[in-house]
Amino acid sequence: MSRRSFLAAGATGAAVTAGGCVDRVQSVVGQAGSNQLSVSITTVPADADRQNVRIANRLKDHLEQVGIGVSMDMRSRSEMLSAVLIDHDFDIYVGLHPADYDPDFLYEALHSTFASEAGWQNPFGFTRLYFDRLLEEQRQLDGEKRNRRIESILWGLAREKPFEPICVPDEYRVASTDRFEGWEDGDLATRYGYLGLEPAEDVDDLHALVTDSRLTTNLNPLSAPYRNRGTTIDLLYDSLGTEHGGEVTPWLATSWEWTEESRDAATATPDRAATRTATITLREGCQFHDGEPVTAHDVAFTYRFLADTSLGRAPIQSPAPRYRGHVDIVDEITVESDNELTITIAGEQAVGERAFTVPILPEHVWRKRVDQYASDSEFTAPQGEWAVVTADNIPPVGSGPFQFDERTEEESLVLTRFDDHFTQRDDVALPEATVDELRFTVDPGSAASIGRVADSNADVTASMLSTHSLPAIPDSPAVKRLQSPSRRFYHVGFNVRNAPFSNSHFRRAITQLIDKEAIVEEVFYGNATPAATPVTGEWIPSSLEWGGEDPVTPFPSSDGDLNVEAAKAAFERAGFRYDDNGRLLED
C-alpha cells in the first residue's frame, strides 16, 4: 500500500459511523507498522531534459537501496510545472529552478505567506516563522548587514531542506559566424542576446532553434507552467529597467531617483518596514504594438494587476503566479503625469529595483479581459488557475523591440521588428533589433540543433545545450561556442505539506543520498558546479562554498558507492524503523 493509499484509508476509517469506528481505526493503525514507505518522484522524460531524468533515476536507485518504495511520475514540462507549481500534487520532484540575479528570489521561494499560492512562490509549502523574519529583514538591509542575513537564510535552508540544490549547469549554445557578429556581447538567456547583433550585408532575419515548444503554444507572461526565464516575454514586452550583469539599469524608464528612506531601517520591524520612494520618468512617445500609447497609467496598472489579477472584483485577491515576489515589496504607486510616477517600496533600493524588471502590460488589453469574466455576480478568480492567467495570450500585445507575427503550434514562432521601439531612436544608447524577423524553430534535440547550425541551416541555438551533445560541436571557425553564466540550478524539491516530508530530519536523510560530485561528473560530464546553496557568485558565503561535500548532509560513501548502512542509520535517527526485510516502514 502506498503512503497516499494509507492516508486515504485513514480518512475513510475516520468517516465511518460510531458502530464500526473503533475496530476500523484500530485495523488501519495496526497495519501501518507493516507498510513500506513509498514515494513518488515527479520529473520530465529524457527528450525534455536528459540531465533531469538521470538525476531522478539516481535518486530512485539510492532510495530503493535504503528500503523505500519509489515510483516515477513522468510528465511533460508544462504538465510537471502544473503539478508542482499550481496543483501542489507531488511528493518529490527534480527540476531546474529559474532563480534570479539577486537572492531576494528566496523571499518568494520560502516565505510562508506564499505557501498556499500557485507559482514559483513557495511551491514546497514551507512555513517557518524564524525564516520569515530573516527573509523580511534582508529586504530592509544593505551591504554587510544584508550579507549576514542572507548567510543566515542559506544556513537555515541547508538545515531545513525544503529543497536541495544539486548543481549549477554550465550554459552552452552555438552560433554560426557566417551571417552575424557580436554574439559574445550578449547573453542569449536575456533580451540582450538578440539585440545589437551585427548582420552581414543583405541579412534581415535571425533563425534561432529551441528544444522546448512551449513558446509556440502560450505567450502569457503570467503563466507559471509555460514560462522559465521569460526571454521571449522580454522581447515582446518592455520593463522599467533591465538586468544585465547583475545590475538593473533604465530601459522603458529614462531614469529613476530614490528619496531617502522614511525612517531609520535599523528600527524597522516586519509590521512597519522602512520605505523608499523612486520617482520614475518614462521615455516619451512609446507605443504598444497596437498603436496605443504607453503611459504611467499602464505602469501603475501593471503593478496593481500583478498583486490582484481580479482587480478587486473577486471575493478573494488573486495574485499573479509569476512576479509575485517582485511586486510584493511595492507599497504605493502614484501617477504624477503620463510620463512620471512614484513607486514606494518597503525595503532597500537594491530589492526595490528588482521590482522594475516585470513586464509592463497594456491596461486597455488586460482590463478588458478581466471585465469579460467578472461580469457574473458569482465571479471568482482561483489564484493561478483562472482564465486571465492561463489563456495563451495569442496574439500578445506588448511594447517590446519585437512584435508577434505568427506561430505554428509545436513548430515555430515568428516575431518581427517593432520599428517604433525606442531603441531604434538615434539618441538612445541601448542595443536595438537589427533584423526584420526573428524566427524560433522547435528542434528535436541539442545534437540535431548543433548540426543545423554547423550546416548553416540556422543561426543559433537559443536553448541551453544538453551536456551529452557538447562533443558534437565542431572545431570550426564557422561555429562559435557560446558560454554564459548561469543562475539556474538543478534541485530536488519536497512537498512539506504532507508527511513524511514535513519532517526535516526525513528530508535531510533523503538529501544525503544525492552524490553531487558524482552527478556533476557522470551526468553533466564536468559541465556543472556542485552547489550547497541556491545562490551563485559573490552571494555564496565562504562558510557554504563547495568543499567537496555538502556541509550538512555529506554523501555517505564507501569506495565511491552509497554506504547503505550509514544511510539507513540516518532514517532511524529521524524516527523511522525497518522490518526484517530491510524495508523502511511508514511512521
How confident is the model at residue 269, as a pLDDT?
53
Q: Say which range, 77-86, 328-337, 374-383, has the weakest mean pLDDT.
A: 374-383
Q: Please give the Cα distance from 576 to 508 (Å, whole number).
A: 13
Average the pLDDT over 304-322 and give the result.
Answer: 96
Strands 69-74 and 38-43, bridge-based pairing: parallel
Q: Please give the Cα distance from 422 to 286 (Å, whole number).
A: 7
Percent of the chain with pLDDT over 70: 92
Listing DSSP states for 414-449 in one string gives EEEE-TTSGGGSTT--S----SSEEEEEE-S-HHHH
260 has a pLDDT exceeding 90:
no
How confident is the model at residue 28, as a pLDDT?
28
How confident is the model at residue 377, as a pLDDT?
78
* pLDDT classification of 31: cutoffs 50, 70, 90: very low
Q: Please give the Cα distance from 217 to 226 (Å, whole number).
A: 9
Q: Which helix (H) or strand (E) holds 69?
A: strand 69-74
Q: Please give the Cα distance from 235 to 221 (Å, whole number).
A: 11
Q: Which backbone phi and psi does 39 adopt, to 5 degrees?
A: -135, 160
Residue 135's SS3 state is helix
503 has a pLDDT exceeding 80:
yes
Q: Which residues, in sequence order, are CB contacts of 169 under 8 Å at separation 6+?
A: 51, 96, 464, 467, 486, 488, 489, 490, 524, 527, 528
How confident is the model at residue 558, as a pLDDT?
84
273 has a pLDDT exceeding 90:
no
Average the pLDDT over 276-302 and give the result.
Answer: 98
Burial per residue of 352-367, b for 16 or more beta-carbon CB atoms within 10 angstroms, e otherwise: bbbbbbbbbbbbebbe
Residues 382, 318 contacting (CB under 8 angstroms): yes
User: Where would I find the beta strands (DSSP E) of 188-244?
Assistant: 198-199, 205-210, 241-244
CA-wise closest residue to 432 among 450, 449, 420, 445: 420
How confident is the model at residue 22, as a pLDDT?
28
CA-wise closest residue to 120 among 235, 245, 273, 230: 230
Higher-confidence residue of 268 and 540: namely 540
Mean pLDDT, all residues of the chain: 91
Q: Please give the Cα distance from 86 to 342 (Å, whole number).
A: 33
Percent of the chain with pLDDT over 90: 86
pLDDT in tens, 193-249: 999 999 999 999 999 999 999 999 999 999 999 987 779 999 999 999 999 888 999
Listing DSSP states for 456-504 in one string gives TS-SEE-SPPPGGGGGGS---TTEEEEEE----EEEEEE-TTSTTTT-H
Retrieve residue 422's grid coordinates: 525606442
Average the pLDDT over 57-61 and give the result.
Answer: 98
CA-wise closest residue to 119 among 261, 227, 238: 227
Average the pLDDT over 335-346 and give the result.
Answer: 97
306 has a pLDDT exceeding 90:
yes
What stretches of 237-380 show up as alpha helix (H) in DSSP? Answer: 296-307, 324-328, 349-354, 363-374
DSSP state of 248: E
Give first-to-last CA distance, the chain, whole Å: 14
Average the pLDDT over 567-571 and give the result.
Answer: 97
Q: In the CATH scheme, what is the code of domain 41-169+488-573?
A: 3.10.105
* pLDDT classification of 264: cutoffs 50, 70, 90: low
How confident is the model at residue 278, as a pLDDT?
97
3 has a pLDDT exceeding 50:
no
Retrieve residue 287's grid coordinates: 507605443
CA-wise closest residue to 185 among 199, 201, 174, 196: 196
Q: Say which range, 20-34, 404-418, 448-462, 472-486, has the weakest mean pLDDT.
A: 20-34
Residues 433, 421 contacting (CB under 8 angstroms): yes
Q: Please give the Cα distance from 29 to 232 (Å, whole number).
A: 53
How confident is the model at residue 133, as a pLDDT?
97
How confident is the model at residue 12, as a pLDDT?
34
Q: Please give the Cα distance from 206 to 402 (Å, whole number).
A: 12
Residues 117, 324 contacting (CB under 8 angstroms): yes
1 has a pLDDT exceeding 60:
no
Distances (CA, A) of 62 to 67, 232, 511, 560, 565: 9, 38, 10, 13, 12
Residue 287 β-bridge partners: 293
Strands 38-43 and 92-97, bridge-based pairing: parallel
How confident is the model at residue 10, as a pLDDT?
38
pLDDT in tens, 346-361: 999 999 999 999 999 9
Strands 253-258 and 528-530, bridge-based pairing: unpaired
Q: In the CATH scheme, what is the code of domain 172-484?
A: 3.40.190.10
* pLDDT classification of 272: cutoffs 50, 70, 90: low
Residues 311, 370 contacting (CB under 8 angstroms): yes
Higher-confidence residue of 509 and 17: namely 509
How confident is the model at residue 5, as a pLDDT?
38
Average the pLDDT over 255-275 and give the result.
Answer: 69
How confident is the model at residue 262, as a pLDDT?
58
State pTM to two decimals: 0.90
Residues 173, 567 contacting (CB under 8 angstroms): no
Retrieve residue 521's grid coordinates: 561528473
Average the pLDDT over 560-587 and give the result.
Answer: 95
- How many other C-beta atoms lie within 10 A of the C-beta of residue 499? 12
Q: Please give the Cα distance from 517 to 507 (Å, whole number).
A: 20
Average the pLDDT over 139-154 and give the result.
Answer: 96
2 has a pLDDT exceeding 70:
no
Higher-confidence residue of 271 and 162: namely 162
Q: Domains of the chain: which residue ranges? A: 41-169+488-573, 172-484
Strands 253-258 and 38-43, bridge-based pairing: unpaired
How confident is the model at residue 271, as a pLDDT?
54
Q: Please give the Cα distance from 46 to 44 (Å, whole number).
A: 7
CA-wise closest residue to 434 among 419, 456, 413: 419
pLDDT in tens, 390-441: 999 999 999 999 999 999 999 999 999 999 999 999 999 999 999 999 999 9
